Amino acid sequence: MASGFKTFLLRGNLVDMAVGIVIGIAFGTVVTAFVKDLITPIIAALFGKPDFSGLSFTVNQSKFLYGDFINVLIAFVIIAAVLYFLVVSPYAMFKARYEKPPVPEPPSKPCPRCLSNIPQGATRCPFCTTDLS
């Protein structure tokens, strides 16, 4: 039983997934700190203190804190923009620069008998073995 558990734990996919999750959590922490400590103060310097947590309204003695929702929504948009401009866009440019161009498919023609696509210069259909000459 212990050897089966050891095999399960050391399976490649499980280890890769665990590493990806840990790296993702660490990266999320870095991005959150970047937004909180650098981006939000820049916005505060330009537009005033960006804190909407005091905004609320009351209905039948129930307090709705829509200001907190606005704060979280703004933080989400800022995090998404930072991720896009600092990770997604540079990665796409890097990938486009080093990715091999797709190889074009050779010209093909339909087989008159089975209608499969076969190379233009073929003399026999590989699917139904019809002689094409």
Query: Does position 47 have pLDDT exceeding 80, yes or no?
Result: no
Matching residue, tokens 């650098």:
38
Same domain flag for 10 and 43: yes
pTM of the model: 0.49
Same domain flag for 92 and 27: yes
Same domain flag for 87 and 114: no
Q: How many domains does the chain have?
A: 2
For residue 19, what are the domain limits? 2-98
Same domain flag for 35 and 60: yes
CA angle, 87 then 88 then 92, to 5°: 120
- At residue 65, the pLDDT reads 85
**For a pLDDT cut of 70, what percent of the chain falls above it?**
92
Query: Does position 49 have pLDDT exceeding 70, yes or no?
Result: no
Same domain flag for 83 and 128: no
Dist. CA 78–CA 41, nearest whole Å: 12
Report yes or no: 124 and 114 within 8 Å, Cβ to Cβ: no
Report yes or no: 109 and 120 within 8 Å, Cβ to Cβ: yes
Same domain flag for 111 and 90: no
- What CATH number does the domain containing 18 carry? 1.10.1200.120
Same domain flag for 113 and 63: no
Dist. CA 97–CA 72, nearest whole Å: 36
